[in-house]
A and B are shown apart, each in its own frame.
Chain A
Amino acid sequence: MDEEQLDLSGEEEEITADVVLKTIQTSWQNERLSPEILPHRNDMVECMLGQIQHMERNINKLPKTDLRTSIHKMELSRIKYIICNYLKTRLEKIEQNCIIIINDEKQRIESGTNYLTPLEYRYAQEHLLNIEHHLKQTILNQVPGNMQVFEINKMSTVPNLQSHVFLKANETVHGIVLEDHFGDQDEEIDLEEGSQHILQYKFIADLVKNGKVQLI
């Protein structure tokens, strides 16, 4: 059970299980609090799932009355909760905004910076097909011919990137421009390490993605 060092396939550096766990927890928190879908951390999730399996095999070898069994089980349930909730939150966002997510994702795949895992992408596409199919079956096919077109763009909902979020700066970032919508009163602020703010998500979206700030 002293498997501490994990090997991340495809990466040179070794990374300890608790770092993986912390990364997943941060991603979970950010995903829960950001209006838009964030780049996936499937590498970390896969890695942790492997670790959980390994741990579960070892637990089965322990006698049932062993105190360690219940401690390990408790920890695994906690981690599973985070992972499930993380993946579920992403799926909810995908369902909510699937049209815009698929469109954006198409461009991101071309540039190799995809946010969704291949499975999530497939889920999004299937979800959209199901909606289309459902609407055609229940309504569109029953209405006059000139109204039967499935107007995908009119169906599209977008996340509100202007919504206000709370954040904490993990490191000092200078010169965040708080744009005024009409360009006359732009304000510039610095985020000092450890400071906390509330502001519009779109100003700091990139900083969330590169880990310089953490949503709270």
Chain B
Amino acid sequence: MDPYEIEFIGENRIVSIIPNFSYDKIYLICGEFGPFRAGLPMNVPLWLAVMLKQKQKCRIVAPDWMEVDNLENIKEEEKRSRFFTKMPNEHYMVEAKLILGAASEDIPNASEIKTIIKDIWDIRMSKLRTSMDALMKSGGSYGRLDHLTMMEINSVKPLLPAAMDELLRIQMMSKKTTPATLNSSTFSQSGTSQNT
């Protein structure tokens, strides 16, 4: 899938906004939202938050996890751990990109947060590359990837699955040929050339 499609899926996440207008509840297909009360926080899907923000109809409230100390901790934890740590949000990158892109003035320490999130992403991507390398070298055809977010997984497509497909094909070809050569050498002594 294209990264913009992952972003599209991430846009369904619920975030909190503070509207600057009042309005009744709105009944969308994906659920009902509102009522909108000027100055009072409320929840809406991310796509709607960004849209209202672009129309200058709201401020976006920074999600709980989007906070410098918290992110520093996550970053340290990510550095310390051999494995991938659980991210505060399945679409952290999408959410950060969209919120910081559309409403960086609403988020305290926006530029600092941007840098830390980018660092976390880089640490995780380098870990991902290392584990992919290990997986390929061990000739594995199965891997477990807990806590990787969709965007991260998508970034190694099609490379990883394609490489694994290719490896499997090679293994199947070499296994197909090895027994045959073994057979011919053992059977040549006894004079039969039966292939099983």
Contact = CB atoms under 8 A, between A and B. Distances in A.
A156 B57 CA distance: 56
B146 A195 contact: yes
Interface string A28-56: 01001100000000000000100110010
B27 A75 contact: no
Interface string B137-148: 000011111111
B168 A200 contact: yes
B28 A163 contact: no
Range, interface on chain A: 35 or more
B170 interface: no
Contact of B161 (A67, A70, A196, A198): A198
Interface string A67-98: 11011101110110100000000000000000
Contact of A75 (B28, B153, B165): B28
A163 B161 contact: yes
A134 to B, nearest CB: 31
Interface in B42-58: 47-48, 51, 55, 57
Interface string A179-202: 001100001010000111111100
B141 A200 contact: yes
Given A181-B175, A216-B153, A71 B26 contact: yes
Given A33-B1, A163-B165, A164-B165, A178 B26 contact: no
Interface of A: 1-4, 17-18, 21, 25, 29, 32-33, 48, 51-52, 55, 67-68, 70-72, 74-76, 78-79, 81, 160, 162-166, 178, 181-182, 187, 189, 194-200, 216
